[in-house]
Amino acid sequence: MDSMLLYHGSNEIVEFPEIRKTKYTKDFSWGFYCTNDYEQAQKWAYRRTGAGIVNIYSYTPNDELKILKFDKMTDEWLDFIGECRNGYIHGYDIVEGPMADDTIWNFVNDFLEGNISRSVFWEYAAFRHPTHQISFHTIKALSCLNFERSEKVNE
């Protein structure tokens, strides 16, 4: 299989990616998150300090891994994010799909709290264009990534 470039925005060089359990779970639970969108990685890189690092990896898929891929925002995607944000630990090595940005996440949160219906969520989200994310949840999954280089951004 052909490899592709993925990007991870951070405030440090991440030559050896790892999975860290943090206070809050993300869209696809705890994992190491990358994107195929360099500009999105730049946003992640300097969201806290105004400067940062984009780490660049070659990613070679492994067909032996358990992979869940969402091609677009769907009810299944919404339900999966809701479960993960509430602490659900899934059994996938890699999960890939649209990223719920802050605006979409507010809609997701309103849906999960019962403040809006599913149909209203889709009305609100209809004109949003989510970006890409891919999360690595196991050591075997992380072995698909090969660190290429890092670049300083917005210095």
Within 13 Å, how many C-alpha atoms sit on residue 137's CB side? 23
Residues 6+ apart with CB under 8 A from 34: 6, 7, 8, 41, 57, 59, 133, 134, 135, 136, 145
* pLDDT at site 69: 97
Q: How far apart are CA 96 and CA 28, in angstroms?
A: 8
In a structure prediction context, what are the per-residue pLDDT tens digits for the chain, which is 155 residues long? 678 999 999 989 999 999 987 767 788 999 999 999 998 898 888 776 667 999 999 999 999 999 999 999 999 999 999 899 888 889 999 999 998 777 888 888 899 899 999 999 999 888 777 789 999 999 999 999 999 999 998 75
* pLDDT at site 49: 67
* pLDDT at site 37: 93
* pLDDT at site 155: 56
Residue boundaries of the structural domains of the chain: 4-99+133-153
